[in-house]
Amino acid sequence: MDMLRVSSSFGLFQALMLVLGWLAGRTVVGYVGKYDHWLAFALLAFVGGRMLWESFHSAGDSVRRIDITRGFQLLVLSVATSLDALAVGLSFAFLQVNMLVASLTIGVVAFVVTVTGFIVGRKSSKFMGKWAESIGGVILIVIGLRILLTHVL
């Protein structure tokens, strides 16, 4: 159920942010384009940092305190990973793009890639054990850094 919830959220947010960017067009391109990479970095670093902190401060192997598959954590991850889609949508406003096809394609691809990530993650957790949450946190921070550096450099 977690896999379906997260994959659906990521796919939906990718598609919706693309459409929102397209609808915004030129009106907000200056604002979003200047700061989207900083916002994505901050959100991903926040969630990744919390995952890292929790992985080292949890009480043994008891219940995980952070659940990235629900509520605010899922919303933050969904928004952070789809901010680039917002920027792409803004550029689509100036092109002759079929937004229905584009948004459905991007949403479905995000869904499938997320499902694949869950499957690979479950299989790799057998040999990564307790380090899986730490590695996941580091990966989120690296993704945020990549987004930031791609726009800054």
Rounded-to-integer distance, Cα 50 and Cα 46, Å? 6
* CA distance linking residue 126 with residue 27, whole number of Å: 49
Query: What's the number of domains the chain is made of?
Result: 1
CA distance 24 to 33: 12
Q: What is the 3-state secondary structure (H, E, C) of the chain?
A: CHHHHHHHHHHHHHHHHHHHHHHHHHHCHHHHHHHHHHHHHHHHHHHHHHHHHHHHHCCCCCCCCCCCCCHHHHHHHHHHHHHHHHHHHHHHCCCCCCHHHHHHHHHHHHHHHHHHHHHHHHHHHHHHCCHHHHHHHHHHHHHHHHHHHHHHC
Cβ-based neighbours of 113, under 8 Å, separated by 6 or more: none
Confidence of residue 20 (pLDDT cuts 50, 70, 90): very high
The pLDDT tens digits for 61-104 are 555 566 778 888 899 889 988 887 887 887 787 777 899 999 99
Q: Is the pLDDT of residue 55 over 70?
A: yes
Phi and psi angles of residue 124, each rounded to the nearest 5 degrees, phi first:
-75, -20
Tell me how far CA of residue 148 lies from CA of 33, 90, 97, in angstroms: 12, 18, 27
Domain coverage including residue 82: 2-152
Q: For 93-132, write each residue's pLDDT tens digit.
A: 777 789 999 999 999 999 999 999 889 888 887 777 778 7
The pLDDT tens digits of the residues spanning 23-32 come to: 887 576 666 6
- pLDDT given at position 101: 95
